[in-house]
């Protein structure tokens, strides 16, 4: 018989977090160690969670000459095997080792850094455990699903003196860099309004029907849930259906997409160390204001992959943002195209490319 959700949740959390140090003897390291010390050394990388997004990111990492992926951890056998095939196929050998429990991977002394691409529920906890094990971390966004989890993560990284990077990749994409530079440089005049596209927020906390629990070596459901509240197994969750679920997602779609577009607005407003101080929710958007008076509009789009509100230009693709100043505006998205008004601003674009 399955225990009640409340009993199972408490027992599993106690096991996962209070016994980690005792069972695996993960070291707490307060100095930078296990780094590549010469041009001939390679950073040994471990992967935690290897779904479609991870395979995309890892595909780029494998091309780095100073890094080698040596281990993969995932609770699903099919994903472990697919990940090993990807890595072994790239290196033309069979040296990549597999783990069902990522804590076994973290206990390995030969691993310097980890790529974390689990579902949202595990990001902060896995990153904290990795830092305590002396590993540097690249984690897919979000850093955590609560403010408290993110604060604990930041404190841990500082205390353990580890390197941490979150997967906000659009900060490295030229067209977004250019749009932000136009806003920050004054070429649009004084910026007064910014638009960030996000999904329509939803609250979905219903349970899918219970299905027979697979063997742990096929899918370790208990480990898949991790720090999330217990619920019965359903294959749709592990196939990607955890998204938009309140217990698993980073905020019912609001933060999931906002981690991309709102982040770009934070950057454009030079607000990485702060946030808006006023919030006014409405049916079609949330209007926010920063202490410096700049208005930020979070526009609800049914499908940021296609549907657009009047604020956005359809051909600009996903993740559109718009920055509006006293003397002009700029908009861009994942298509790579940049649209500016007035046209007199266009010559400025060539001078905004990052060096």
pLDDT, one tens digit per residue, over 27-81 is 222 223 344 443 448 999 999 999 888 998 999 999 999 999 999 999 999 999 9
Based on the fold, state whether residues 130 and 192 are members of the same structural domain. Answer: no
Predicted confidence band of residue 343 (pLDDT cuts 50, 70, 90) = confident
Q: Is residue 117 part of a domain?
A: yes
Counted residue by residue, the chain has a size of 355
| Residues 183, 154 share a domain | no
**299-312: average pLDDT:** 66
Q: Could you tell me if 48 and 186 lie in one domain?
A: no
Question: Is residue 25 over pLDDT 60?
Answer: no
244 DSSP 8-state letter: T
177 and 70 co-located in one domain = no
Q: Is residue 65 part of a domain?
A: yes
Which range (17-31, 179-193, 200-214) has the least confidence? 17-31
The token pair that represents 219 in the structure block: 């899918």
Q: How far apart are CA 69 and CA 63, in angstroms?
A: 10
Residue 314 clears pLDDT 50, i.e. is over it: yes
Give the least confident one: 117-126, 148-157, 191-200, 246-255: 246-255
Is 209 within the bounds of a domain? no
Contacts of 197 (CB under 8 A, 6+ apart): 257, 261, 299, 301, 304, 308, 309, 312, 319, 320, 321
Residue 32 lies in a domain: yes
- Domain that includes residue 100, residue range: 5-167
Local structure of 185: helix, strand or coil: helix
Q: For position 191, which CATH number holds?
A: 3.30.360.10
SS3 string, 258-301, reads: HHHHHHHHHHHCCCCCCCCCEEEECCCEEEEECCCCCEEEEEEE
pTM score over 0.75: yes
Please check whether residues 35 and 182 belong to one and the same domain. no
Angle between helices 123-132 and 147-160 (to 10 degrees): 20
Q: Is residue 315 part of a domain?
A: yes
Residue owning tokens 């076994």: 104
Q: What is the CATH number of the domain that holds 144?
A: 3.40.50.720
Q: Is 186 found in the same domain as 155?
A: no
303 and 334 within one domain? yes
pLDDT band at 141 (very low <50, low <70, confident <90, very high): confident
Residues 159 and 298 reside in one and the same domain: no
Do residues 141 and 189 both lie within one domain?
no
Q: How far is CA 63 from the centre of its chain?
A: 21
As a whole number, the mean pLDDT across the chain is 84
Q: Calculate mean pLDDT across residues 3-21.
A: 36
Q: Are residues 15 and 140 in the same domain?
A: yes
**249 pLDDT more than 90:** no
Cβ-Cβ contacts under 8 Å for 63 (sequence gap 6 or more): none
Using the 3D structure, point to which of 167, 189, 221 is the last residue of a domain: 167
**pLDDT at 18 > cutoff 60:** no
Report residue 253's pLDDT band, with 50, 70 and 90 as the boundaries: low
- 103 and 179 belong to one structural domain: no
Sort strands 191-199 and 295-301 into parallel, antiparallel or unpaired: parallel
CA angle 141, 221, 218 (to 5 degrees): 105
Q: With cut-offs at 50, 70 and 90, classify the pLDDT of residue 198.
A: confident
Ordered alpha helix ranges (H), 62-101: 77-91
Give the model's pLDDT for residue 131. 98
Domain membership of residue 322 (yes or no) is yes
Residues 175 and 124 in one domain: no
């Amino acid at each position: 018989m399955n225990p009640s959700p409340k009993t199972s949740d408490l027992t599993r959390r106690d096991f996962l977090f209070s016994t980690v140090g005792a069972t695996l003897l993960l070291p707490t390291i307060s100095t930078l160690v296990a780094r590549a010390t010469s041009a001939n050394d390679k950073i040994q990388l471990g992967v935690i969670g290897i779904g479609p997004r991870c395979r995309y990111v890892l595909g780029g990492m494998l091309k780095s000459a100073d890094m080698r992926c040596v281990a993969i951890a995932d609770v699903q056998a099919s994903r472990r095997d697919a990940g090993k095939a990807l890595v072994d196929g790239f290196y033309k050998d069979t040296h990549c080792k597999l783990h069902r429990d990522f804590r076994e991977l973290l206990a390995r002394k030969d691993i310097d850094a980890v790529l974390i691409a689990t579902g949202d529920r595990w990001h902060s906890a896995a990153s904290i455990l990795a830092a305590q094990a002396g590993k540097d971390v690249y984690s897919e966004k979000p850093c955590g699903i609560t403010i408290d989890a993110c604060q604990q993560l930041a404190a841990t990284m500082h205390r353990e003196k580890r390197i941490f990077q979150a997967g906000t990749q659009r900060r490295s994409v030229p067209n977004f860099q250019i749009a932000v530079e136009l806003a920050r440089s004054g070429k649009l005049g004084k910026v007064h309004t910014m638009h960030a596209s996000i999904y329509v927020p939803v609250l979905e906390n219903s349970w899918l029907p219970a299905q027979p629990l697979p063997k742990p070596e096929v899918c370790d459901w208990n480990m898949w849930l991790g720090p999330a509240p217990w619920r019965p197994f359903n294959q749709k969750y592990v196939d990607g259906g955890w998204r938009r679920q309140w217990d698993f997602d980073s905020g019912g779609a609001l933060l999931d997409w906002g981690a991309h577009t709102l982040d770009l607005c934070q950057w454009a407003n030079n607000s990485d160390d702060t946030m808006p101080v006023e919030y006014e929710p409405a049916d079609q958007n949330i209007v926010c204001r920063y202490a410096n008076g700049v208005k930020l509009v979070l526009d609800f789009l049914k499908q940021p992959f296609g549907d657009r509100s009047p604020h956005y230009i359809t051909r600009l693709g996903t993740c559109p943002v718009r920055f509006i100043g006293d003397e002009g505006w700029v908009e861009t998205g994942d298509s790579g195209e940049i649209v500016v008004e007035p046209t007199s601003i266009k010559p400025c674009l060539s001078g905004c490319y990052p060096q």
